[in-house]
Structure 1
Amino acid sequence: MRLGRLVLYVRDVEATIGFYEKHFGYKAERLDGDRIVELVAPDGGVNLMVHPAGKGQKMGQVLVKLVFDVENVEAFCAQSSAKGLEFGSIHQADGYQFANAKDPSGNSISISSRAFGK
């Protein structure tokens, strides 16, 4: 058994799809009549299910953070900045680096070299 999908509740479905396609290489799969758009991970990782948020849901106030494994945090931050995504400060942890940002709906995201031990 493995975790295969994660649902993101968002206000702007198209902005969210574009964000994850542009910055993280996901590809949108749409099924006729389905309001959920599945973003397929470029490397066989966890897919993201983009779901329109209900009126009562508050954006960015959940206890989840999406962490993307990148080998070189500094280089990824520079590439992302050139495409309009600004990460916060790069933090040095115990043997790896990470940096944080938010997607268009205020969901917390992070890039981390932890998986690479750097």
Structure 2
Amino acid sequence: MQLGRIIIYTKKLEEVADFYRTHFGFEVLRVEDDRIVELVAQGSGSNILLHPMSAGRREGQTLVKLVFDVKDVERFCRASEKRGLKFGSIHRADGYCFANAKDPAKNSISVSSRAFARR
């Protein structure tokens, strides 16, 4: 069994879809008459489903962080900044490093080299 999809609730479907397409290489898949936008991972990762948020919820209210595995966090952050995505400080811990940012719907995201750390 593997994790296949993660749902992000947002009021900014198009902006969030474009964010993950631009910065993380997801393919945007829309099916006619479906209110959910599917972001298809290019490789073996999980897909992201963008689901319209109900009126009573606030952006970024859900306690979920998406972590993207990258070998070179510093290089990825520099390249992302050129495309308009600014990560916070790079943190080092237990043989790997990571940096945090937010998507347009204020959901927490992180890039991390933990998957590539020697354990």
| Aligned 1:15-34 pairs, distance under 5 A | 15-34=15-34
- Give a deviation string over 1:25-47, Cα, whole Å, max 9, x none: 00011111100011000112110
> Which residue number in structure 2 is paired with residue 12 of structure 1?
12
Alpha-carbon distance in structure 1 between the residues aligned to 2:8 and 2:94: 29
Letter in 2 for 1:29: L
Moved over 2 A (4+): none
Q: Structure 2: state its 5+ residue gaps.
A: none
Matched residue SS, 2:56: coil
Letter in 2 for 1:75: R
| Aligned 1:9-88 pairs, distance under 5 A | 9-88=9-88
Q: TM-score, normalised by structure 2?
A: 0.96
Alpha-carbon distance in structure 1 between the residues aligned to 2:13 and 2:61: 17
> Which residue number in structure 1 is paired with residue 111 of structure 2?
111
Identity of aligned residues (%): 57
Alpha-carbon distance in structure 2 between the residues aligned to 1:68 and 1:36: 22
Matched residue SS, 1:86: coil
Q: Structure 1: state its 5+ residue gaps.
A: none
Alpha-carbon distance in structure 1 between the residues aligned to 2:95 and 2:15: 34
- Give a deviation string over 1:58-99, Cα, whole Å, max 9, x none: 111222100000000000000000000000000001100000
Matched residue SS, 1:62: coil
Letter in 2 for 1:84: G
State how many pairs are aligned: 118
Matched residue SS, 2:115: helix
Alpha-carbon distance in structure 2 between the residues aligned to 1:57 and 1:31: 25
Q: TM-score, normalised by structure 1?
A: 0.97
Alpha-carbon distance in structure 2 between the residues aligned to 1:49 and 1:116: 26
